[in-house]
Amino acid sequence: MDGGRFAVKRTVGEKVVVEADIFTDGHEVLAGRLLYRKEGEGDWTEAALEPLVNDRWQGEFPVAELGRYLYTLEAWIDAFETWRRFLGKKIEAGQGVSVELEIGAELIRAAGRRAEGAEAQRLAEWADSLAGAKSQTRAAALALDPELALLMARHPDRRLATTYGRDLAVVVEPERARFSAWYEMFPRSCAVEPGRPGTFKDCQARLPYVARMGFDVLYLPPIHPIGLTGRKGPNNSPAAAPDDPGSPWAIGSAEGGHKAIHPQLGDLEDFRRLRERARELGLEIALDLAFQCSPDHPWVREHPDWFRRRPDGTVQYAENPPKKYEDIYPLDFDTQDRAGLWAELRSVVLFWIEQGVRIFRVDNPHTKPFAFWEWLIEGLKKEHPELIFLAEAFTRPKVMYRLAKAGFSQSYTYFAWRNAKWELTRYFKELTQTDVREFFRPNLWPNTPDILTEYLQTGGRPAFMARLVLAATLGSSYGIYGPAFELGEGRAREFGGEEYLDSEKYQIRNWDLDRPDSLKDFIARINRIRRENPALQSNRNLCFHEVDNERLICYSKRTKDGSNVILVVVNLDPHHSHTGWLNLKLEELGLTGETNFQVHDLLGEARFIWSGPRNYVELNPGLVPAHVFAVRKRLRTERDFDYYL
């Protein structure tokens, strides 16, 4: 973590395992402690540090509460244990130890002076017995007694202890920061009647549909008034007709800015009711933080200095030639009135926190300063450690990771564009088996309103199913943009692009949720499997297994205690059936080579008896392109039945 500059991340109830190289010159025995505390609270709590091998030590501590914890290390030369081992070797070699016993008695007396009460007395007595022992055998027994070793370990001489010299931080977040299923939906498309703009009330009526699919975060694109100046029409056409609703990301009009609600959606009261009803159904509402303005945003008038001006006096709109976004003014985070701008943006988040929002999806965080996000998130979390921020950081890898270090709880990833086995394997090893996992929590989206991948455009329903299984089982957090996803919407505006045809970003869509080919039941099943199988609620345990077919990918997840093991096989080819032989890493499944075991397909309910590492699979994408197996170790044998007795 850049030498301790940034915090690692955990969720409530997890453990933090700390490893360190601890050594010194010479041959003395060392001892050490892991020190930890909640930030802002008093004394360090101590946890054991135990040597592993090759001067590597390990300790762990629990993080039971939301917020920031600090930890550091302390180690010292353990004079008593050094003496004890030395004595043991001399006795074993049959050498005289009378002087050693004197040295030991003095070490014990000194420990007694550091101790108090009964333990002080016990140590003093022990020292006297040792000094007065009549025979070397008796003295050795006294000196090497494990009870003494334990007692001495409780009162070490730490005056010359070395500390790590830096307090490292852990940010502890709610469980949903680690394990979550997101559903993105445009409220204005929620009306049942075609043509009418949906409202929060329509949105509320849609909640049971979303909840039945098993999601736990409902993410709404910006709900604020939309600017008129430069408004885009359907399919991003530069001229909007009077009825065109415009992009929700062109925030702000005469009706208000980032703290206002689009009048067509309803009012604050409607929003609060929506949020409350959602929570009753297990859904947390996530709002979009898009820190940019339409030219009609009140800030443009009230704070002209928050925007970058061109020599001709106009405000610089967003553009990436040849593309122009005349409906968007970026904020100038380096404005002279930096303090004013930053405080106002913070007050936007606080406003929605007051309305009960706890999860925010942040639009394009990579075009705003890292320092702003660190300041904003760390500051808000002091009062509200339950907040979750998802970074829409579709940018270069190092910038993406830097934003995670700045404090974002979760991040979008490159998942949408990783389709082949080799690239999925390489990417997810990077995310789950390197230091990245300490600070970066992937949230996997097969689609978003901006991203309709070629794979989904060309693969049909099997492609949507395969990508759903991958997203929901490779990652403990994932999300879909619906109803486009469950209805298999695969039509792009133009070949070679990733924009949806008739994108909801620019127009209202009316979706037929009851279409028989909807994936809603399949999604509901996947989400139920995720909830019922703790192995799928973490990413640290991901393990890939070999398959002798490049179109089949196989991986497993397992809880630390081994009580839950999930094995997934996905056919990545949406067009053809594929067969293959798995070569399973049995130890990663908690199995040994000799055992037969059962795999129970939680998608199709089929059960197979497998044996050893090599097992056969066959997946027809026209039916279900994946197996999600629960691995059940114990098979019954003749000895389990009455007739055997």
* Residues at the interface with a copy of itself (CB under 8 A): 3, 21, 23-27, 54-55, 86, 89-90, 92-93, 95, 99, 102-103, 106, 310-312, 314, 320-322, 366-370, 396-399, 402
The tokens 């955990």 sit on which residue?
Answer: 10
Give CA separation, 145 vs 81, 88, 126, 138, 152, in Å.
12, 11, 10, 11, 11
| Smallest separation, CB 396 to a copy of itself (Å) | 6
Query: Which one of the listed residues 296, 363, 486, 573 is annotated catalytic?
Result: 363
Which 8-state DSSP code applies to residue 512? Answer: -
Q: Closer to a copy of itself at the Cβ: 66 or 143?
A: 143
Q: Closer to a copy of itself at the Cβ: 67 or 407?
A: 407
Give CA separation, 81 vs 75, 146, 158, 327, 601, in Å.
14, 11, 14, 72, 54
Output the six-digit token pair for 629: 């197996």
| Smallest separation, CB 77 to a copy of itself (Å) | 10
Which 8-state DSSP code applies to residue 426? Answer: H
Question: Beta-strand (E) ranges in 213-370?
Answer: 217-220, 284-289, 292-293, 318-320, 323-325, 329-330, 359-362
Q: Closer to a copy of itself at the Cβ: 121 or 314?
A: 314
| Smallest separation, CB 390 to a copy of itself (Å) | 17
Question: Beta-strand (E) ranges in 244-358?
Answer: 284-289, 292-293, 318-320, 323-325, 329-330
Q: Are 491 and 500 in contact (CB under 8 A)?
A: yes
What does the radius of gyration of the chain's CA atoms come to, in whole angstroms? 31
| Smallest separation, CB 311 to a copy of itself (Å) | 4
The tokens 């968007």 sit on which residue?
Answer: 328
Q: Closer to a copy of itself at the Cβ: 310 or 639?
A: 310
Is 276 a residue of the active site? no
One-letter identity of residue 444? L
For the packed helices 454-474 and 421-433, what is the interaxial angle rounded to 10 degrees?
Answer: 40
Is 374 a residue of the active site? no
| Smallest separation, CB 71 to a copy of itself (Å) | 18
Query: Which one of the listed residues 184, 202, 284, 392 is annotated catalytic?
Result: 392
Q: How far apart are CA 148 and CA 133, in angstroms?
A: 16
Helix (H) / strand (E) element for 341: namely helix 338-354
Q: How far apart are CA 365 and CA 394, in angstroms?
A: 9
| Smallest separation, CB 118 to a copy of itself (Å) | 28
Task: Read off φ and ψ for residue 267, nearest 5 degrees.
Answer: -125, -175
Q: Closer to a copy of itself at the Cβ: 309 or 632?
A: 309
Q: Closer to a copy of itself at the Cβ: 18 or 331?
A: 331
Q: How far apart are CA 632 and CA 193, in angstroms?
A: 48
Q: How far apart are CA 466 and CA 446, in angstroms?
A: 10
Q: Closer to a copy of itself at the Cβ: 134 or 398?
A: 398
| Smallest separation, CB 93 to a copy of itself (Å) | 3
User: Phi/psi class of residue 547: alpha, beta or left (left: φ > 0; alpha: ψ in -120 to 50)?
Assistant: beta
| Smallest separation, CB 142 to a copy of itself (Å) | 17
Q: Closer to a copy of itself at the Cβ: 364 or 409?
A: 364
Task: Read off φ and ψ for residue 534, nearest 5 degrees.
Answer: -55, -25
Give catalytic residue positions: 363, 392
